[in-house]
Amino acid sequence: MLTETGKYVAFGDIQVHEVLKDAIEKNILPGTGVSAVEFWSHLEKLLAEFSDENAALLAHRDELQAAIDEWYEGGCKEDQEGFLKRIGYLVEPPTTKTTICVTNVDPEMSLLAGPQLVVPVDNARYALNAANARWGSLFDAVYGFDVIPGRPGPGGYDPSRGLAVLEFAFKQLDGVLPLVDAQWAELASIWVDHRSQLVASTTTGKSTGLKSPSAFVGYRGNANKGDLVFVHNGLHIIIKIHKESQVGKQNSMGLSDVVLESALTAIMDCEDSVAAVDAEDKSRVYSNWAGLMRGDLETSFKKGGKSVTRRLNSDLTFRMAGGKGIVTLPGRVVALVRNVGIHMRTDAVLYRGDEAFEGLVDALVTATAGLLDLRQVGRNSCTGSIYLVKPKLHGPEEVAYACRVFDRVEEMLGLGPKTIKIGVMDEERRTSANLQSCIHVARERVVFINTGFLDRTGDEIHTCMHSKLPVAPKGAIKKAAWIQAYEKLNVIEGLSAGMGMRAQIGKGMWAEPDSMKAMLDQKIGHPLSGASTAWIPSPTAATLHALHYHMVDVSAIQKTISVDPSAVLKLREQLLQPPFDDTVFTLPKGDIQRELDNNAQGILGYVVRWVDLGVGCSKVPDINNVGLMEDRATLRISSQHIANWLFHGIVSKAQVKESLMKMSAVVDDQNKGDPQYTAMKGGGVAFEAAMDLVFEGTKSPNGYTEDILTKARRAIKTEKNKQSRL
């Protein structure tokens, strides 16, 4: 029986905030085939069946951490590997070879290699930008960023910069789509003949063509204004010809742009990049995800003084090479949704009077919204799958738990077994140390594993907090043996489980959205490592990173990677050696202060936007005013780093407070041009939250930041609601 209690509506043992109830019943359920009565019954059962197990898993984390703390405090007398096995932290690997056996996986998640975006799904504009980032203009990316020297001149199109962009583009085409005895810059014309076959000639009248004619896919338009489509390493390239355009007039063939197939997939994030602390926030998160699955999400905003409406792009159609049909290419990415971890709770739903485990609510709501895609076939997954990413899982026991939750959700929604695929974030120490077993228990669902340096380092620091040695400075951590072992093992374990070009093996984020030249120079290392995808911070970055997947044949690289047992054993040993350094005790005071200030500034710069503005992901200037794309993972590593140095006496509590006070003035100055920003001035809710994150860092479970942030954000929202009623 339904009863009203304040702002909550009761359905048996659960109480649902009226804002969330309305959002689910009005924005999500219509079109799914699931009635409101059925949905709330499903949620009640899911919480009843899994809440106790969820709580037990969290208690087990605490038990393991307490045992590790005691081991360190006792002088590490027992061999580490033997100790970790004895307490159940390390498990025995599967007795049989693990081979994934996942069915109905979209090619973007399996056969193809390319960039992946991660965006906060509570921001409709960002979500739409990501969904539409399947295609991107190479000319725009190069013209507007630091890929080539200089900056565009004022007053519209800069012809001299345009020529430099053309030179860059022609060089890329020569490498990816080489011509027979000619270069692209030498072409006078390229189009199709009466048989719809590609023909080209140079400015000297010489006929030429592709060295690999099968790379030509299709075309549309005409020789003066048209598009030619090619494919290389599975990724499509659209060469746009417009001889009367500004760019087209600057070259003999009339090339006006090169459009690259860019982001193949995007993670719509409910977790680290959002600040969703209550029913209002969660309703926006869920409604936007449902809009993406239904295909009708749109948003309007002001740009250049004009109102702009953004919606999902349509697919692209071309006449097939040879003229024998139509070729259709996807206009959008394949979207995954990242749920929250099992440690999160939400007051949007209460179970038997307590805040419900948010991960369970996420699983049912996001999967239900996924029905909107399955019912309309082809808006997102062409194979009938729903892709859910689970973060912050600790070891195979928790991965198996997540899979059982998905089993039950499928039963409730009438989905076929294993319709819901799982992406496993390899970002916690116990998962990294048992990755083979994690993949094994999810072998019928897993389509994605991904490394994340920031979270993974945060957990490393917290797990080994009671070591006799302090953690090294951040710069040194990146060079430590354990992080190299971590990155290599992720690829090796994935390949040994048969994930090569059958599932995504991913790498982490490029955090500097304005530094595209550096990204082009450095991020090629990810496909060279055998990873089939890597995170980038913007659609522009996706377009430029796509070049790397033309330069590198990931499938070929994966076939060359050795899975030598002795080498793997050595890497696993290195993985368990934390990045701690006794030389930190003798670091010059100036070096210690710079490291402390850098961490303090980064913490405050992120926390103040999270707490005061509800912004979970944004470009935050660092201490050197370099804009970095930050989310909660950055906060975790920085707060744990200071907490570690405080614990080991490298810095004092007074020194930390002084640094935070000093850096709050820096952050205030960096944000003075933002009309929404309220200066901290060394105080306020956000500043106090930053203090708590550091000084409670050794006590916060696994070094997670969410509880402190959520409490602070709720306080701000409560105060704003009070003020609005005055």
Residues 463, 68 contacting (CB under 8 angstroms): yes
In angstroms, the CA 131 to CA 313 distance is 8
CB-based contacts of 300, cutoff 8 Å, min separation 6:
307, 308, 309, 310
Q: What CA dihedral angle connects 339, 340, 341 and 342, to 10 degrees? A: -90
Residues 241, 253 contacting (CB under 8 angstroms): yes
Q: What is the DSSP letter of 186?
A: G
Main-chain phi, psi angles of 219, to 5 degrees: -160, 165
In angstroms, the CA 291 to CA 127 distance is 10
Q: Count Cβ neighbours within 10 Å for each residue of 255-279 and write b for 16 or more, e otherwise.
A: bbbbbbbbbbbbbbbbbbbbbbbbb
CB-based contacts of 629, cutoff 8 Å, min separation 6:
509, 511, 512, 513, 537, 617, 618, 619, 620
Residue 338 appears among annotated catalytic residues: yes
Q: Is 2 exposed, middle or buried (0-12, 13-18, 19+ CB in 10 A)?
A: exposed
* E-assigned strand segments in 193-341: 198-202, 207-208, 216-221, 225-232, 235-242, 255-261, 265-269, 298-303, 306-311, 316-320, 326-329, 334-338
Main-chain phi, psi angles of 205, to 5 degrees: 90, 5
Of the candidates 631, 636, 692, 713, the residue annotated as catalytic is 631
In angstroms, the CA 663 to CA 110 distance is 45
Task: Using DSSP bridges, classify how beta strands 225-232 and 216-221 pair: parallel, antiparallel or unpaired.
Answer: antiparallel
In angstroms, the CA 701 to CA 565 distance is 34
Of the candidates 294, 332, 338, 713, the residue annotated as catalytic is 338
Residue 502 appears among annotated catalytic residues: no
In angstroms, the CA 32 to CA 370 distance is 8
Residues annotated as catalytic (active site), given as ranges: 338, 631
